[in-house]
Amino acid sequence: MIPSSFPPKDEIARLTARMLLEIGAVHFNAREPFTHASGKQAPTYIDCRKLISYPRIRSTLMDFLTVTTMREAGFEAFDNIAGGETAGIPFAAFVAERMALPMTYVRKKPKGYGRNARIEGAMSEGQRVLLVEDLTTDGGSKLSFVDAIRETGATCAATAVIFYYDIFPETTKVLGDHGVQLISLCTWWDVLAEARAQNAFDTETLDEVETFLRAPKDWAPKG
């Protein structure tokens, strides 16, 4: 179970950013940008999966995610915690343990044999399900998971993530139009502010990252 007293949201965001920087989950490189799943290049990359290997940080962030979810969605708002395959599975398990709720997970697609199921674990009609993931970019990938949950007869009106890009203005609308509330701990803006405070990267790199964050669809590598 979780303690009852936690920092305010802005301090949770700063501490989350600090922890992500401390374990090397944040990568900034404008000269050799990263290619994302969409095929687009960016000077930023974040690897939230690394968190599972750092128990003190992992435990603190899961406390943060649990209390933030209860603050923003309600203390008795859920009956089941579902993780999205694959990155969301461990975090869903940690949150479910803290909230003393059943845990399930959602496959990206049916496994193709046996029951051909997308939901693993026990999820039943009428249950209020929280979808837990490591991060969200534009919100689109969450919709398939939400639909799979709803096909069981359960409801899913919220998703909780550690990291939210917060650079694509359509994200909250995409989720909101689908009836899904987004709950998150920190964004690229929080990470950039903490990186500047720590001098974690050189000024030129941080300036180029800020240029990207302000207009991600217009950004292109120099040279």
Domains by residue range for the chain, with CATH: 9-214 (3.40.50.2020)
Q: Which residues of the chain have pLDDT under 50?
A: none
Residue type, 147: D
Residue type, 163: F
The confidence score (pLDDT) of residue 139 equals 83
The confidence score (pLDDT) of residue 223 equals 62
The confidence score (pLDDT) of residue 133 equals 97
The confidence score (pLDDT) of residue 25 equals 98
Cα 191 to Cα 10: distance, rounded to the nearest angstrom: 12
- Given a contact cutoff of 8 angstroms between Cβ atoms, the answer to whether 15 and 57 are in contact is no
The confidence score (pLDDT) of residue 115 equals 67
Per-residue pLDDT reduced to its tens digit, 121-137:
999 999 999 999 999 99
The confidence score (pLDDT) of residue 221 equals 87
Per-residue pLDDT reduced to its tens digit, 82-111:
999 999 999 999 999 999 999 999 999 887
The confidence score (pLDDT) of residue 1 equals 64
The confidence score (pLDDT) of residue 63 equals 96
Residues 6+ apart with CB under 8 A from 75: none
Positions of E strands within the chain: 26-28, 34-35, 41-42, 44-46, 80-84, 103-106, 119-120, 128-136, 155-164, 181-187
> Count of residues for the chain?
223
The confidence score (pLDDT) of residue 162 equals 98
Q: DSSP letter at 210?
A: H
The β-bridge partners of 156 are 129
Q: DSSP letter at 129?
A: E
- Given a contact cutoff of 8 angstroms between Cβ atoms, the answer to whether 88 and 65 are in contact is no
